[in-house]
Amino acid sequence: MSSSKRYIRVMLGKGSVFADICYKQSFIGANFGIQQDLKNDLPEDWREFNKKFIPIFLESRPDKSKVAAGLACGALWTICKGLSDGDIVLCPKGDGTYLVGEIIGDYIYKPSAELPHTRSVRWYPEVISRSSLSQEFRNSSGSIGTTCDVTKYSSEIESLILGKTPAVIHSSDPTIEDPSVFAMEKHLEDFLVKNWFQTELGKKYNIFEEDGEIIGQQYQTDTGPIDILALSKDGKELLVVELKKGRVSDFVVGQIQRYMGYVKEELAENGQTVKGIIIALEDDLKIKRALSVANNIEFYRYKVLFSLVKS
């Protein structure tokens, strides 16, 4: 297995509506309302692509936000340019399984197709059940968005393709100090998103949504995915939320600052400010010291409450 091979989860339309046709015709594709051949407009850096095509996207869809535009254009670049021959794609079928295939061709524009921006794929006969994924992989691959880089799970994916069941507990992130806390706090992220309006944060902020689907969870940036990206109800402040997830304190502070820098430079509209919040299970002196000189980042603790009620 080549060390440069990438593994990308690709959604084939909302609700995987195009998964069957893509499988039958051996391709993956995207649309996003950009009806032009991109062959000569695919720079090596996706940020250059976004800089050019976000205004084009917004011109045809003025009701969309820069957040939605950035997500769409970034995914389009990934499919058209970011994937190379030999890279592996995992595509949800919508039934709890993933199609798995290998990219075997360069970008092709098909102007009359529902998914005009395409790449040829050699699909494997095997499908992967979502239930067979490790919990960490399952959480990461479940993030909303057309594309999601899952290369860090390459060994697990290869094992599943070969029909081997990987260990249930899986963590390949060198920044994680405590895998058990990581697993619990990844569940906390999902719980927080589902119960957002019952929290203090939900009183002031809304998680970004697009067409009724949350796109502000695991929002992709050029330095990794933001756990939660939200917008104040008055539209004046963008909020970046990071859960510590058992990671090294200095890494978490640096990471949220990088995310906030990205949001400020790439997503914020005129007049919008950016705020950050780090959430952890326990008090963390290192984080508090670092945040004492960062007036736009706050620290929150969470409490786990559990009770039984006789029925």
**Best-predicted range by mean pLDDT among 7-11, 149-153, 212-216?**
7-11
- At 292 the pLDDT is 82
Average of pLDDT values for 133-143?
A: 70
- At 178 the pLDDT is 47
150 in helix, strand or coil? Answer: coil
What's the length of the chain?
A: 311
Bigger pLDDT: 94 vs 308: 94
What rounded mean pLDDT belongs to the chain?
A: 85
237 in helix, strand or coil? Answer: strand
Q: pLDDT, tens digit, for every residue of 7-60?
A: 999 999 988 999 999 999 999 999 999 999 999 999 999 999 999 999 999 998
Residue 202 confidence class, pLDDT cut points 50, 70, 90: very high
- At 212 the pLDDT is 78
- At 196 the pLDDT is 92
Residue type, 57: F
Instruction: Please enumerate in sequence order all residues whose Cβ is within 8 A of that of 257, keeping only pairs 6 or more positions apart, or say none.
Output: 276, 294, 297
Residue 248 confidence class, pLDDT cut points 50, 70, 90: low
Give yes or no for residue 89 having a pLDDT over 70: yes
- At 168 the pLDDT is 47
- At 237 the pLDDT is 97
In order of their start, the domains of the chain are 7-161 (3.10.590), 179-301 (3.40.1350.10)
Residue 179 confidence class, pLDDT cut points 50, 70, 90: very low
Instruction: Tell me what percent of the residues of the chain surpass a pLDDT of 70.
Output: 86
Average of pLDDT values for 185-205?
A: 85
- At 307 the pLDDT is 64
Name 128's bridge partners.
98
Please give the structure tokens belonging to residue 278: 């780090």
Instruction: Tell me what percent of the residues of the chain surpass a pLDDT of 90.
Output: 52
Q: Quick count: other Cβ atoms within 10 Å of Cβ 180?
A: 11
Residue 222 confidence class, pLDDT cut points 50, 70, 90: confident
Q: pLDDT, tens digit, for every residue of 158-174?
A: 888 887 655 444 444 45
- At 164 the pLDDT is 63
Instruction: Please enumerate in sequence order all residues whose Cβ is within 8 A of that of 282, keeping only pairs 6 or more positions apart, or say none.
Output: 301
